[in-house]
Structure 1
Amino acid sequence: KEKLELTNKSYVDPVGRRGESDLVFKTNINGKEGYLYIICEHQSTEDPYMPLRFLEYNVQLLRQHLKENGNVLLPVILNMCIYNGKNPYKGSSSLLSMFSDPDLAKSCMLDSFHLVDLYSTSEDELLSYKKAAFAAMVLKQGIYRDFKQWFSDHI
């Protein structure tokens, strides 16, 4: 049974201004909880950065979802812009298309991040980092907040 439940979502942007969302419905998407985010502010001109705008809204919506529901898996958000201009919309609807290298942007930014796990990385491997070795070793030992013993053992 599919249903749309209108939510009363609002957000506070990074500079502290309160914003009201357009229309946000809670619904099921492929059988899983999700949101349908509709921008319907009579978008009559093309916004060349509409995909970026959706990303900003989505991050705010996801943060609010986590705040309300705790540490849970994130819901999918289906974004929809209702455009009512005098000419056909020719702007991009894809965030990835806005990057000079969409595949690289997807792999570096939108799919996963590169993790350097200092806890699990051996000191020998960190020493192979050449110019960054010293910084990596200091950061690895940083959890102890007292470097005297480590420095005397290793230098």
Structure 2
Amino acid sequence: MKIQNPHDRFFKETFGKVEVAKDFLNNYLPENIIKVIDVDTLEPQKDSFINEELQEGFSDLLFKANINKREGYIYLLFEHKSYSSKDIAFQLLKYMVEIWEAKIKKEKADKLPVIIPLVVYHGKDSWKIGTTLGEMIMGYEDLPEDIKRFTPNYEYLFYDLSRYTDDEIKGEAINRIATTIMRDIFTKDNKGLLGSVFRAVSYLLELDDKQTGIEYFETLMRYIFSARTDLTRADFNRVVKKIETTYPEGSEAVMTLAEIFREEGRAEGREAGRDAGMEAGMEAGMEAGEAKALARTAIKLLTKKFGLLPEEFKTGISKLDPPTLDVMIDGILDYESLEEVKRYLQ
């Protein structure tokens, strides 16, 4: 599935790693469930069951594992919206049916594997929805027991990260970093989120493999500054200072806001170019689309740093070519005034 947003990307880059998924399951699954799952057999599957309509709010990962000494699956659904979904039990049921259908059609299976569904949520609103399908069925609780058995029902495991305290977040360093940041990305203001970032940096010191730490720190920074566009240059500078004093190995891996936005601008520009150009004019269309996206990025960053820009600046920036815009964006963090921008507009 195409990665649509920073929440999806961060979730999959983190929990798509078998060792992190194992650590999560070992620390958060109820004891009576984890004892029947052989986590050493955990194997990620490439299938995704989220349709395009729901991609902006959900991500999923499917793992194959031996459950009670037989083939089974663990389905991990991540809801990255600021509010909870009332029909989550129904959506999950559809996904599980799709998994079973795939087993029947592709492998001609005559027995269905066990599927254990988990939902991870980190929205602003508290989750006030039941975790069973029966609660969605009108009057289900009032039915006699001998009638209930004709109506499908099941329960899913649920983790509301927003309710976890620091002491309740468990596991190895990367697991704790991911859970902490996902918990706070929607619920804390800039100052509170930076505190969580600083805590995450301290967790990196626990990693024996420094290269792993550096790589994951880059993943973490991409997520934070892509998901929270309200973070300022001053916020970024605080993170840089913290890295330099606490985790110097990661100082070179810090990706500036300008660099992140520039990469997004290039991708957006290439997409705009592909849409705009026919075969004969594709190259020109791509260049125009890239320039337009980079110009928006430059204006956005300059506005964030210096306030509302004069219209002549916006007009001049919009006329620049991609190489010039690249150079301008590279220097934005160091500019002292808009006078330094004028040299590109002449």
Which category describes the TM-score, using the shorter chain as reference length?
Answer: 0.5 to 0.7
Deviations along 1:94-125, one digit per CA (max 9) or x if unpaired, are: 001222124577422328xxxxxxxxxxxxxx
Q: In structure 1, what is the equivalent of residue 329 of structure 2? A: none
Change (3 A) 1:88 1:106: same
Match runs of 1:6-45 below 5 Å: 6-10=44-48, 22-45=60-83
- CA contact 2:45–2:64 (8 Å) conserved in 1: yes
- CA contact 2:48–2:62 (8 Å) conserved in 1: no
Larger helix share, 1 or 2:
2
Q: Which of 106, 109, 119 is 2:151 aligned to?
A: 109
Distance 2:147 2:121 in 1: 27
Identity among equivalent pairs (%): 31
Match runs of 1:4-153 below 5 Å: 4-10=42-48, 22-99=60-137, 100-102=139-141, 103=145, 106-110=148-152
- Higher mean displacement: 54-63 or 20-29: 20-29
Change (3 A) 1:105 1:75: farther
SS of the residue 2:105 aligns to: helix
SS of the residue 1:74 aligns to: coil
Distance 1:58 1:92 in 2: 18
- CA contact 1:4–1:26 (8 Å) conserved in 2: yes
Distance 1:12 1:66 in 2: 20
SS of the residue 2:102 aligns to: helix
Q: In structure 2, what is the equivalent of residue 121 of structure 1? A: none
Change (3 A) 1:61 1:43: farther
- Higher mean displacement: 58-67 or 34-43: 34-43
In structure 1, runs of 5+ residues without a counterpart are: 112-155
Amino acid at match of 2:150: C
Greater CA radius of gyration, 1 or 2?
Answer: 2
Distance 2:87 2:133 in 1: 8
Distance 2:147 2:83 in 1: 27
Task: Give the number of the structure with larger relative contact order, counting CA–CA contacts within 8 Å between residues 6 or more apart.
Answer: 1
Distance 2:90 2:61 in 1: 18
- CA contact 1:96–1:106 (8 Å) conserved in 2: no
Amino acid at match of 1:79: P
SS of the residue 1:28 aligns to: strand
Scaled by the length of structure 2, the TM-score of the pair is: 0.28
